[in-house]
Each structure stands twice: as C-alpha cells, then as structure tokens.
Amino acid sequence: MPNAFASLALVLWPAICVLIFVRLPPGRALIASVLIGYLFLPPSPAGFDFPLVPELDKESILALSALFAGLMTCRGRIRLWPESRAAQGLLAAFVLSPVLTVLTNPDPVIFGNVWLPGMRVHDMLGLVVAQAIALLPFVLARSLLGDADDLRDLLAGFMLAGLVYSLPMLIEVRLSPQLNIWIYGFFQHSFDQMIRFGGYRPIVFLYHGLWVAFFMSTAVLAAVALARGATGRRALALSVAAIYLLVVLVLCKSAAALLYAMALVPVIAVLGQRLQLSVALLLAALAVSYPLLKGGGAVPEQALLSLAERVDENRADSLEFRFDNENALLDRASAKPLFGWGSWGRNLIYDPDTGRQVSVADGEWIIAIGTFGWVGFLAEFGLLALPVLLLWRAGMAGAAPAGAGALALMLAVNLVDMLPNATITPLTWLVAGAVLGLAERAGRSAQRAALPGRARPEPLRTVL
C-alpha cells in the first residue's frame, strides 16, 4: 500500500506545478511539469478515488495541475480547440464516444460466478471526464509549443530528463528495482517481470520496465536530433550524451525499445527532414491500419514468431501469447464493433465455469477497440496520427522547422509501440500536441508563402 509520503507528493504537486510556471517561460514550464510529474510522482495505486469522478492518480493530477497553472500564468495563450477540422472531429469523438458506449451497454456481463454491471449514467460522466483529462497535455502543448524554439526545448527536455533518470535507473540495475518501495512504500508491478537476461531491469516510478525502456529510447532519439543540429564542442557533448543514453537503454533489457532506437538513430542522423517525415508517416499509418490487417489475416504472425525464436525462445513465447490474446479479444470486440463493451473489464474474457479471467489485454489498440469500439480506436489513434500527417504535408512544402522530423518520429514510434504495449502516457499526448502545434504554424507559413506576391509600391523620393 502507498505510504503517507506518496499521498503528500500528489497533494503538493499542484502547488509545485504553479511554481514551475511562475519561474519558467510557458513552453518550458509545460515541458518541465509534465516530464517531472510523469517520471517522479508515485504511480497507481497511489491516488485518490472519490465518488462519481475518475480516480485522481499521477497522470490526472499532473494534467489538471498543468491546466490550472497554465490558465493562471498564460492568459489568452491557451486555446482548447485545434484549427484542423479533422482534429476537431477526432477530439470531439475521443471525448464523447463513451456516451454512446454507455448507452449501448445497459446490460450486465455474466461469466460463471462473475457478474460485471451494466453501464450507467454516472459511468458516462466519469468516462467523458477521464477522456477530457487525458487530452489536457495535448491541448496545452498545441497552444504553448508551436515554434522552432519550443521544438528545441522539447528535445532538450527529453534528453536532460533521460540523463537525470539514468541515475536511479542504474541504481536499480545494480541493486534491483527498489526505489518505489523505499520512497513510496509499495511495488507497482510483478517483480518477476523486472528480471531479464540474468539481471534486473529498472522500473523506478513508472508502471513497468517497458515504460522506462521506451522513455529512454525517446531520450536517445532526442539527443541524436540535437547533436545533428549542433556544431563544434556542443555537437561532441551531445553525441557523448546520446551514446551514454544508448548504453543505459541496453541495460534496460527491452528488445523492442532497443530495436526502435537502433532503427531510427540512423534515420535521424543521416536522412533529410523530408525523408524523416515520410518514415514517420509510414510508421503512423502502419499503427492505425494494424487492426484491419490483423482482422484480415494480413499480419505474418508465424514469420514473426520464427524470427523471434532466432533471437530468444522466451521472447517468442511472449509474442505468441500476445498474438493469441489479441485474436481472442478481437473476436470478442466484434460482438460490439462500433462502441465497444465499456469499462469494468467487460471487454475481457472469463472462464464460463469459474469466472476466472483468461485473457490479457496488453496492446493499447485492442484495449481501445474492446472498451470503446472502432469509433473510440479511430478517435484515439487518429488524433495521435493526424499531427504526423499534417506536419508531413507542411514539411513537403519546406515549411517545417529543423528537428521536426525527429519529433514526428518520436510520436510515430510511440504509436507503433502501442500495438504490443499500452504505452500511451502524458508524454505521448505532450509530443502529439507539440507536433500538431508545429504543423499548424508551419501550415500557415506555407500558405502565406504560396500566395501570389503583391506589387510593392515604389518608395517615395524627395528631391532637394
């Protein structure tokens, strides 16, 4: 159980967040508050569960605190409604789709002696509020992180956060994952899953070692992007930082996160921005289309399993377990295709005799489809993928600032990682909002550049 210090940290965070916004410029304050809150506040089950409202945990508290601090210190700059009509529609669908989910799920779900209640009006309110809170880093980033300076600050923030977080990570690699127990009084996951390849992988204050490894892979990409845009000693220092972060990533013992970094580091270091944006768009399109490919039998599961067996037999078994659960849960989701089964675990599968849960939903895509149906999935993944498309379009017109391709790749690879894992975090929404803000500003610049030039009047001459 979380100790008193865990509750105190969550209670004090709004005041700390306001102090950050008072001391720093708005963009940097948002970056710092979201990164620090996500990385260092206690994870669930630490939080506050009040009646009729979503649980207040680290993610919701840091989002609400950033909104409150932003409204206090950045009056007039925060706009909750995006410019793109497509983004407006997806945002509305993401927030409001739970209404139809609740209305189409009034009946209970019964498996043996397990009885899952039907959805009620108070569930509707709670789900809508939870969806809106989740979007707060997205809308704040879109408003406060929209130019080239903000882009560099965001990349620098990820790199610096990775360097700072590497210290507790190395402690846990050496001593075993204990920091959350020592500081907050509990362990947030299964300890067995933190043991890999004869050693420990760090979890620190996140939900799983996979979350830590993925964050470190994005820190590596950010450092490489900064190093590419630097010169002289600064470029050398940033390159050393990138190599150090890559070594720490190896110690995380996560094959997927390491694969992402090894695949995208050359893309950021060598390719031009237009090609980077094209690769990001391809990855985002793959993530959005994966459920269709999966349902149509176009995913080469056996080939992927054979490839995984060559690397490690345990990883192949884990991948096969994921595929089997995805197939079973996709079949269950097909019974409620449009708006899903709703919350309370109604989207999962249980033994009909004992009522024991026999399915595990790992990937964010299958969680979204099972809970909120195809409408909810397209709203969520579409809202995350659309900024990549808009920035790609601006980049093809030459209007995207330097480093935009790297940020788009960080968002796109997060979308890809949401296929095997549920790694959708406040950092995901923060980066997505920043990419959308960059795309909107770059799009306006491209439109102005495309306008036919107006004849300028001849300057007046004075004859003395």
Q: How far is CA 391 from CA 220, 386, 388, 399, 403, in A?
A: 22, 9, 5, 9, 12
pLDDT tens, 132-181?
999 999 999 999 998 899 999 999 999 999 999 999 999 999 999 999 99
Model pLDDT, residue 453: 55
- What is the residue type of 390? L
Owner of token pair 């269709």:
292
Q: Rounded to 10 degrees, what is the CA torsion of 426, 430, 431, 437? A: 160
Q: Report how far residue 378's alpha carbon sits from residue 361's, in angstroms, rounded to the nearest whole number.
A: 18
Task: Determine contact, residues 384/430, Cβ cutoff 8 Å.
Answer: no
pLDDT tens, 208-254?
999 999 999 999 999 999 999 899 999 999 999 999 999 999 999 99
How many C-beta neighbours within 10 Å does residue 233 have? Answer: 8
Task: Determine contact, residues 162/222, Cβ cutoff 8 Å.
Answer: yes
Phi and psi torsions of 230, nearest 5°: -105, 170
DSSP string, 158-225: HHHHHHHHHHHHHHHHHH-S-HHHHHHSS--S-GGGGEETTEE---TTSS-HHHHHHHHHHHHHHHHH
pLDDT tens, 45-66?
998 988 767 889 999 999 999 9
Q: Report how far residue 350's alpha carbon sits from residue 110's, in angstroms, rounded to the nearest whole number.
A: 9
Identify the H or E element spanning 111: strand 109-111
Q: How confident is the model at residue 458 (pLDDT cuts 50, 70, 90)?
A: very low
Model pLDDT, residue 452: 61
Q: Report how far residue 287's alpha carbon sits from residue 289's, in angstroms, rounded to the nearest whole number.
A: 6
Peptide bond into 45 cis (omega under 30): yes
Task: Determine contact, residues 249/217, Cβ cutoff 8 Å.
Answer: yes
Model pLDDT, residue 451: 62
Task: Determine contact, residues 224/217, Cβ cutoff 8 Å.
Answer: no
Which tokens is 208 given? 């799983």
- What is the residue type of 182? W
pTM of this prediction exceeds 0.85: yes
Identify the H or E element spanning 116: strand 114-116
CB within 8 A of 208, min separation 6: which ones? 189, 193
Give Dmax over CA atoms of the chain in angstroms.
104
pLDDT tens, 78-124?
888 888 899 999 999 999 999 999 999 999 988 877 788 899 988 89
CB within 8 A of 302, min separation 6: which ones? none
Which tokens is 293 given? 């490919």
pLDDT tens, 427-444?
999 999 999 999 998 877
Task: Determine contact, residues 154/31, Cβ cutoff 8 Å.
Answer: yes
